[in-house]
Amino acid sequence: MIVSDDESLDRATLEQLPGLLWRTNRALEPCWVSADLSADQLLGPAGQESDSRRAHREALEGRTACFGFDYGGRHLDAQVAPLRDAAGAIVGVIGMASHGAPGRAERNRRHARGAMRVLAALIGGIAHDVNNALTIIKSYNQFLLESLDPQSESWEDADVIHQAVVRSGRQVAALAAFSRKQLENALQPGLSAVVQGIEPVLPRFVGKNVQVELSLEPNLPPVSMSREQLEQVIMDFAAVAREAMPHGGSLSIATATERLPSPRYERLSHLPDGRYASLQLISSAAPGRRTSLYPPDSGEVDSVVLMARDAAAYIEQVARDHGGGALIEEREDGRTVAVLLPGTA
């Protein structure tokens, strides 16, 4: 290609080309480029051999050469040719690159994302099947614990099974959470919306002797905890309330916006200052009655106490995992759980 060494080019026209156009001198220093492309991007780092640099040297020797490189997340197919003056002497290189397929780095990222989705789906399926099996084991083991004398060796053996199932359940829950996060990029529900979603099943779940009361603040910020985890927190609390209040009572669920620091949440002072969405769960036994969980740490361990301990451990752990905290208070006539979660928006 013959181009005058001092020929001026219309940059406005060049910028509308469906690719890139550039020119270098004999030292392979770019004289102009039709896009914001640095010398390192075009030729590779100085002092390092690259396909681009080899092709440019071939052009300086009078041959046309081709190569490819990544730019702007896409792969460009490039061609370079010697740039000659009016006398035919090679004074540099002129090159042009057209957009091709996505660049190698982007292709690798897409491949990795696809592989991760497949892996996440597989993990999610396995976690679901294992969780179903653990639920059956836990249920029958619960019946076994209730039928045995808490002072017997058989009860201790059954309790070992129970603790193993609980630990396995937490591991399965972690796998399921990983799967959901990869597949859905984390569901971010609002607390009030989650409570409203399970409201129809709560009265039937806790029984006719327990009155369900809701106080929900609208337009709470979404939180990073998944809908399934939030529902698990509420249902675990409701299950403990049902078993701990055989003579009936009330179950209150409230959501609100809280700001830290706050004297009310002094025990959560380790959390960063700011706005939080709060979920408050309160169970209260019928007047004149106390729950079977009171007094705490009395030394009496039965199925309800174990259920309460498991629920408390899960609530505290899942709140920490999502950047929040939980307060759990045992009262003579009931139980209070307050969960604070930072908003994601």
In sequence order, what DSSP letters do the residues of 61-79 get, joined into one string?
TT--EEEEEEETTEEEEEE
User: Among 108-117, 210-219, 259-268, where is mean pLDDT lowest?
Assistant: 108-117
Mean pLDDT computed over every residue of the chain:
79
Q: What is the pLDDT of residue 103?
A: 47
Report which of 302, 297, 286, 289 is spatially closest to residue 330, judged by C-alpha positions.
297
| Whether residue 247 is found in the same domain as residue 152 | no
Task: Answer whether residue 1 shows pLDDT above 60.
Answer: no
Q: Which residue has the tokens 């759980």?
A: 337
Read off the tokens for 73.
């997340």
Task: Answer whether residue 244 shows pLDDT above 80.
Answer: yes
**6 occurs within a structural domain:** no
**266 occurs within a structural domain:** yes
**196 occurs within a structural domain:** yes
**115 occurs within a structural domain:** yes
Backbone angles phi, psi at 28, to 5 degrees: 60, 35
**Cα distance between residue 115 and residue 81, in whole Å:** 41
Which secondary structure element, helix H or strand E, spans residue 101, and what is its range? strand 90-102
- At 16, the pLDDT band (50, 70, 90 cuts) reads very low
> For the residues 221-249, what does the mean pLDDT come to?
87
User: Among 3-7, 37-41, 194-198, 210-214, where is mean pLDDT lowest?
Assistant: 3-7
| Tally of domains within the chain | 3
Of the candidates 160, 185, 210, which is a domain's last residue?
A: 185
**Residues facing residue 253 across a β-bridge:** 214, 281
| Whether residue 196 is found in the same domain as residue 324 | yes
| Whether residue 276 is found in the same domain as residue 240 | yes
User: Among 98-112, 186-200, 235-249, where is mean pLDDT lowest?
Assistant: 98-112
What whole-number percentage of the chain has pLDDT above 70?
77
- The more confidently predicted of residues 313 and 109 is 313
> For the residues 81-107, what does the mean pLDDT come to?
71
Q: What is the pLDDT of residue 6?
A: 44
**Cα distance between residue 253 and residue 202, in whole Å:** 11
Task: Answer whether residue 111 shows pLDDT above 60.
Answer: no
Report which of 192, 185, 224 is spatially closest to residue 320, judged by C-alpha positions.
224
| Whether residue 59 is found in the same domain as residue 200 | no
Residues 6 or more apart whose CB falls under 8 angstroms from that of 50 comprise 43, 44
Question: Is the separation of the CB atoms in 71 and 99 below 8 Å?
Answer: no
DSSP annotation of 2 reads B
Give all strands of the β-sheet with 30-33 in edge-to-edge order: 30-33, 19-25, 90-102, 74-84, 65-71
Pairing of strands 74-84, 65-71: antiparallel
Q: What is the pLDDT of residue 297?
A: 52
Residues 6 or more apart whose CB falls under 8 angstroms from that of 58 comprise 64, 65, 80
| Whether residue 161 is found in the same domain as residue 199 | no
Q: What is the pLDDT of residue 249?
A: 93
What CATH number should be reported for the domain holding residue 251?
Answer: 3.30.565.10
Q: What is the pLDDT of residue 283?
A: 94
Out of 8-22, 26-40, 103-117, 312-326, give the one with best mean pLDDT: 312-326
**2 occurs within a structural domain:** no
Task: Answer whether residue 212 shows pLDDT above 90.
Answer: yes
| Whether residue 36 is found in the same domain as residue 164 | no
Task: Answer whether residue 319 shows pLDDT above 80.
Answer: yes
| Whether residue 55 is found in the same domain as residue 169 | no
Write out the residue range of the structural domain in which residue 134 sits: 103-185
**5 occurs within a structural domain:** no
| Whether residue 259 is found in the same domain as residue 314 | yes
Question: Is the separation of the CB atoms in 317 and 170 below 8 Å?
Answer: yes
**CA torsion angle 103 106 107 112 (round to 10):** 160
270-307 pLDDT per residue, tens? 899 888 999 999 999 988 887 766 555 555 556 777 78
| Whether residue 228 is found in the same domain as residue 207 | yes
What CATH number should be reported for the domain holding residue 41?
Answer: 3.30.450.20
**Rg of the Cα atoms in the chain:** 33
159-177 pLDDT per residue, tens? 888 888 888 887 777 776 6
> For the residues 45-53, what does the mean pLDDT come to?
83
Read off the tokens for 55.
């092709």
**321 occurs within a structural domain:** yes
Out of 117-121, 136-140, 245-249, 281-285, give the one with best mean pLDDT: 281-285
**1 occurs within a structural domain:** no
| Whether residue 170 is found in the same domain as residue 211 | no
Of the candidates 138, 168, 185, which is a domain's last residue?
A: 185
- The more confidently predicted of residues 39 and 194 is 194
**Cα distance between residue 80 and residue 67, in whole Å:** 8
Of the candidates 101, 121, 154, which is a domain's last residue?
A: 101
**Cα distance between residue 301 and residue 149, in whole Å:** 11
| Whether residue 127 is found in the same domain as residue 56 | no
Q: What is the pLDDT of residue 141?
A: 84
Q: Which residue has the tokens 């409230």?
A: 254
> For the residues 127-136, what does the mean pLDDT come to?
79
Read off the tokens for 270.
């380790």
- At 11, the pLDDT band (50, 70, 90 cuts) reads very low
C-alpha distances out from residue 98 to 12, 25, 179, 284, Å: 18, 22, 39, 72
| Whether residue 191 is found in the same domain as residue 272 | yes
> For the residues 188-213, what does the mean pLDDT come to?
86
User: Among 22-36, 72-86, 171-185, 206-220, where is mean pLDDT lowest?
Assistant: 171-185
C-alpha distances out from residue 187 to 198, 228, 231, Å: 17, 9, 13
